[in-house]
Amino acid sequence: MQKENHHRPQMSHSTEIERLVEATADGSNTLFIPGMNEHYHSVKGALTEAEHIFVNMGFQHSPTASPRILEIGFGTGLNAFLTLVAAEKFRRKTSYCGIELYPLPWETIQKLQYSINPSLHSIHSTSWEEEVQITPYFTLQKIQADFASSSFSFKQTIYPPFDVVYFDAFAPEKQPEMWDSQLFERLYVNMNKGAILTTYCAKGIVRRMLQSVGFIVERLEGPPGGKREILRAIKP
């Protein structure tokens, strides 16, 4: 895919990017960036999307007892929080690494009204770059970095090779540089054999690119009330 950066918000600090809280169809909230005309989640249901694509089709599908998870685009921490809840429920020791270029302030997360569970606050209040045990079954490392940069390295993260990858970048039309095959090659070599990558984007060009990198790709039914299809890629 062609590289171009003109859709990336041209700001150095997250707080300078205007973000509005918007309700989605399942009643849960998401963030909207007017400057990009882009949402953080599906407008058809933020919570439903996160549960279905990442927790159910990714985390729950992984045969690994103690999965190491990588999220590209940590954002509001909703995927991390729902994974923490599932890790505790099923007593699976889970190590989670979230990559994010523009960390969000807690004041913004509060406005989303996701949960009064104290773990959500812990997820956001813990230091960046360090590994932190949030609950008995969930350990988190948040990394502030530009995943699209050629200088990005997994050397700064503690969990590779990964068993599950949540690929949750903004859409290819909005951020084409995040959907470059070199980035998926970078992911591929840092994943275990049999590891899973899930993404909401089911575009043919993305599916073929994942295949060309070496993944076996399945098209799965999308979230209830949401997109028709999503993708799950397995490293053979």
Give the nearest distance from C-beta 169 to ligand SAM in angstroms: 5
Nearer to ligand SAM, 100 or 163 (CB): 100
The 10 Å CB-count burial string (b at 16+, else e) for 83-104 is bbbbbbeeebebbbbbbbbbbb
Nearer to ligand SAM, 51 or 163 (CB): 51
Nearer to ligand SAM, 129 or 216 (CB): 129
Nearer to ligand SAM, 5 or 211 (CB): 5
Q: Are strands 138-144 and 94-100 parallel, antiparallel or unpaired?
A: parallel
DSSP state of 83: H
Are residues 49 and 42 in contact, defined by beta-carbon separation less than 8 angstroms? yes
Q: If you search the block for the tokens 């707080």, which residue do you land on?
A: 15
Q: How far, in Å, are 64, 93, 124, 186 from residue 76 at the CA level?
A: 26, 22, 9, 24
Give the nearest distance from C-beta 193 to ligand SAM in angstroms: 26
Give the nearest distance from C-beta 219 to ligand SAM in angstroms: 20
Give the nearest distance from C-beta 105 to ligand SAM in angstroms: 13
Nearer to ligand SAM, 73 or 226 (CB): 73
Give the nearest distance from C-beta 236 to ligand SAM in angstroms: 26
Contacting positions for ligand SAM (CB under 6 A): 40, 50, 73, 75-76, 78-79, 99-102, 146-148, 168-170, 175
Dihedral, CA of residue 55, residue 56, residue 62 and residue 66, to nearest 10 = 40
DSSP state of 103: P
